[in-house]
A and B are shown apart, each in its own frame.
Chain A
């Protein structure tokens, strides 16, 4: 076995895992707070990719400025979606919100295709990160390492926010028991709206950050949405630390497995998740909801 090949595959997995972490955290937060399975999350990720390109092209802004503005452009859209479609049916069965977000996903993808077309765009990495560095005997794109570092840092910031701020404490209380949190005075509906917006912002940030790595196209969010769901189900729905570990397990399984057994790695991944759920239906790391 070529050790360098293995380590390079693992590094690719960590980089993808860092992106998956951002999208999984958002999914897990929204589910934890409102038991909302947000199928539109992938489309919001794609919207971030398109937003960063649009901001650069329309305003002439640099990549880093556009990277910060792209999520800010997507958050209001997500908040409007939540208030218009999810908020009015909050008291109904979870199936209703699932169907609404499923439909919203196709509407957003349709809107992207209408505005930007169905083609694929690849953004160049910003200077001075266009080059490569030698790692494990291979030339590795410098921007990928930087983007992974940024993703991990932002995810760490999200964890710190949830753990150490008053709003984070309320979010954890709602995740534990939304009805009781409401009864002690927490405005759970408004907090869900804000967290839905923030989760969309994280997804859009991931999409914008990944634009120079992954091809930008209308359905770019579908793959990462599926992987994010696998990560949060594996980690325990609503369990943030579990989702983080789940993201890395999914990314490494796909990346390392893909290097050796190609498409069979996806089958292996689903088998891992299925076996995990048979023995731990609330997620490997517990405290989640039954998937």
Chain B
């Protein structure tokens, strides 16, 4: 479904991605993990077109998308939930979702109700300004907004960062429900236990390069990879998760 082949990206003169190659197949939840500054968020931004790929190819459903504008990429069925949520603060919850539903020709306004159904907490706050929501509610709104465009692939960047455990569970449920509805997911997540609880395939990125690919069972059985590229803390998390 999504193929990145030897993708390079720069911020000005800084070379951030050094030939990233990864795949997301239909119906999969693929996790991209790595230390801070490894290139995880930049990989997602390059897929959605916010950061242009300076070399390599990004292919979605067999078509090159690496030279397209972000709005065109969105219209092809890719939705991005950025790390800092970036909800439209001066719009209501319902308007945040409606503008995404209307922006692409892929969906109708009925998607507003469907997207809200993923997160019942939000449905109660449909008329509330997005800026007045808590961090967790804004994260739910960012996901609901992404789902409103009926995406085939959702790019999730650190969706549980800084959230209370109850909110983390709500986001996890939203991720799994999205997959049940046929949305493939590329998930960047620091909460490795959460990633292990939802992910099918794992890519480890380090200094802008993919250094490991494996299924959940394979990465759990490779503690050296975890320790070397994600740190001792994450290796301990895996050990706890295995118990």
Contact assessment for A184 and B99 in the assembled complex, using a CB-CB cutoff below 8 Å: yes
Instruction: Report B93 CB to chain A, min CB distance, Å.
Output: 13
Contact assessment for A172 and B71 in the assembled complex, using a CB-CB cutoff below 8 Å: no
Given A169-B99, A169-B102: A182 and B88 within 8 A (CB)? no
Question: Which of A6-14, A64-72, A185-193, A251-259 lies at the binding interface?
Answer: A185-193
Contact assessment for A176 and B74 in the assembled complex, using a CB-CB cutoff below 8 Å: no
Contacts of A180 in B (CB 8 A): 82, 86, 88
Partner of A176, one of B48, B91, B98: B91
Contacts of B217 in A (CB 8 A): none
Contact assessment for A173 and B91 in the assembled complex, using a CB-CB cutoff below 8 Å: yes
Given A170-B103, A179-B50: A184 and B91 within 8 A (CB)? no
- A115 located at the interface, meaning its Cβ lies under 8 Å from any Cβ of chain B in the complex: no
- A287 located at the interface, meaning its Cβ lies under 8 Å from any Cβ of chain B in the complex: yes
- A127 located at the interface, meaning its Cβ lies under 8 Å from any Cβ of chain B in the complex: no
Cβ contacts A167-203/B at 8 Å (1 or 0 each):
0011011011101111111111100000000000000
Contact assessment for B80 and A183 in the assembled complex, using a CB-CB cutoff below 8 Å: yes
Contacts of A185 in B (CB 8 A): 71, 74-75, 100, 103-104, 149
Cβ contacts B113-148/A at 8 Å (1 or 0 each):
000000000000000000000000000000001100
Contact assessment for A173 and B70 in the assembled complex, using a CB-CB cutoff below 8 Å: no
Residue of B nearest to A188 (CB): B71
- A166 located at the interface, meaning its Cβ lies under 8 Å from any Cβ of chain B in the complex: yes
Instruction: Report B177 CB to chain A, min CB distance, Å.
Output: 20
Partner of A182, one of B69, B82, B98, B102: B69
Contacts of B90 in A (CB 8 A): 172, 175-176, 287
- B79 located at the interface, meaning its Cβ lies under 8 Å from any Cβ of chain A in the complex: yes
Contact assessment for B74 and A183 in the assembled complex, using a CB-CB cutoff below 8 Å: yes
The complex places the Cα of A175 from the Cα of B95 at a distance, in Å, of: 14
Contact assessment for B91 and A186 in the assembled complex, using a CB-CB cutoff below 8 Å: no
Instruction: Report A266 CB to chain B, min CB distance, Å.
Output: 33
Given A176-B89, A176-B90: A182 and B95 within 8 A (CB)? no
Interface centre among A166, A175, A183, A287 (most CB of B within 10 A): A183
Partner of A169, one of B70, B71, B95, B146: B95
Residue of B nearest to A186 (CB): B103
The complex places the Cα of A169 from the Cα of B112 at a distance, in Å, of: 14
Contact assessment for A184 and B82 in the assembled complex, using a CB-CB cutoff below 8 Å: no
Residue of A nearest to B80 (CB): A183
Within 8 A of B (CB), among A1-49: none
The complex places the Cα of A34 from the Cα of B100 at a distance, in Å, of: 19
Contacts of B49 in A (CB 8 A): 183
Contact assessment for B102 and A183 in the assembled complex, using a CB-CB cutoff below 8 Å: no
Contact assessment for B71 and A182 in the assembled complex, using a CB-CB cutoff below 8 Å: yes
Instruction: Report A95 CB to chain B, min CB distance, Å.
Output: 18
Partner of A183, one of B70, B91, B95: B70
The complex places the Cα of A287 from the Cα of B100 at a distance, in Å, of: 22
Contacts of A176 in B (CB 8 A): 88-91
Residue of B nearest to A171 (CB): B99
Residue of B nearest to A286 (CB): B90
Contacts of B50 in A (CB 8 A): 179, 183
Contacts of B103 in A (CB 8 A): 170, 181, 184-186
Instruction: Report B156 CB to chain A, min CB distance, Å.
Output: 13
Contact assessment for B88 and A186 in the assembled complex, using a CB-CB cutoff below 8 Å: no
Given A179-B50, A180-B82: A173 and B88 within 8 A (CB)? yes
Instruction: Report A282 CB to chain B, min CB distance, Å.
Output: 12
The complex places the Cα of A174 from the Cα of B86 at a distance, in Å, of: 12
Given A182-B71, A183-B48: A177 and B99 within 8 A (CB)? no
Contact assessment for A186 and B86 in the assembled complex, using a CB-CB cutoff below 8 Å: no
The complex places the Cα of A187 from the Cα of B89 at a distance, in Å, of: 20
The complex places the Cα of A186 from the Cα of B80 at a distance, in Å, of: 13
Residue of A nearest to B104 (CB): A185
The complex places the Cα of A175 from the Cα of B90 at a distance, in Å, of: 9
CB pairs A–B below 8 angstroms (14 shown): A169-B99, A173-B91, A175-B90, A177-B88, A180-B86, A181-B103, A182-B69, A182-B70, A184-B74, A185-B75, A185-B104, A185-B149, A186-B103, A189-B69
Other than A181-B99, A182-B71, A184-B149, give 9 A-B pairs with Cβ distance below 8 A. A176-B91, A177-B86, A180-B82, A183-B49, A183-B71, A184-B99, A184-B100, A184-B146, A188-B71
7 smallest CB-CB distances across A and B, nearest first, come from: A185-B103, A185-B74, A185-B104, A176-B88, A180-B86, A184-B100, A183-B70
